[in-house]
Amino acid sequence: MLPTVAIVGRPNVGKSTLFNRLVGKKLALVDDQPGVTRDRREGEAHLLGLEFTIIDTAGYEDEDPHSLPGRMRMQTQAAVENCDVALFMVDARAGITPLDEEIARWLREGDAPVILVANKAEGKSTEAGVMEAFVLGLGEPIPFSAEHGQGLADLFQALLPHL
Ligand code: GDP
Ligand code: MG
């Protein structure tokens, strides 16, 4: 059985974009609307010779925004419980939000090793956004661009000890 990596993070940070890049098929929906993907998806990921099962968590779209954190918590915990490593994605352009901080808290309380990825970090003036992710207390964020395929070698290096 392949090791499992779960991509977690609040809606619209780029989880499905990374999933699609690593799986190589359009298995996950990507949309400008936050949280358009309905369910959790699994695929076989390939990254520079590494093979693993990857889980894309999603499906947070909701009529009632007040129930979002609760649903996210259940989704995130279910995905993280059975994974070898959690890939926690934040948005380097948007900066760290209260929801990011809450997810970080759940992950710090859990057992899974966490790799912190600061996505949308292509181009200039995203350094501050990447650095901001240090406040989450989950180690050094990897500057990343799921859309442009930047940071893949660093992600590989970070995953290697856990798979
Ligand atoms: P999810 O809700 O976390 O699954 O996020 P999606 O993968 O659906 O992406 C949300 C939006 O962010 C889409 O418009 C993507 O095109 C965009 N996006 C994803 N990755 C990047 C990136 O590396 N850079 C930029 N600038 N935008 C990105
Ligand atoms: Mg998605």
User: Is 150's C-beta closer than 6 angstroms to any atom of ligand 1?
Assistant: no
User: Is 61's C-beta closer than 6 angstroms to any atom of ligand 1?
Assistant: no
16: domain CATH number is 3.40.50.300
pTM, to two decimals: 0.90
CA–CA distance, 112 with 128 (Å, rounded to integer): 27
Backbone angles phi, psi at 24, to 5 degrees: 80, 10
CA–CA distance, 32 with 107 (Å, rounded to integer): 26
Is residue 85 within 8 A of residue 161, CB to CB? The reply is no
> Which tens digits make up the pLDDT trace of 128-157?
999 999 999 999 999 999 999 999 999 999
> Which tens digits make up the pLDDT trace of 105-131?
999 999 999 999 999 999 988 999 999
Query: How many domains in the chain?
Result: 1
The reported pLDDT for the residue numbered 72 is 76
Residue 30 CA to ligand 2 centre (angstroms): 6
Q: Say yes or no: ipTM exceeds 0.85.
A: yes
Domain that holds residue 48: 4-162
Largest alpha-carbon pair distance within the chain?
Answer: 42
> Which tens digits make up the pLDDT trace of 43-84?
999 999 999 999 988 755 555 666 767 777 887 888 888 899
Residue in the structure block whose two tokens are 């759940």: 106
User: Is 38's C-beta closer than 6 angstroms to any atom of ligand 1?
Assistant: no
Region at 149 (left for phi over 0; alpha for psi -120 to 50; beta for the rest)? left
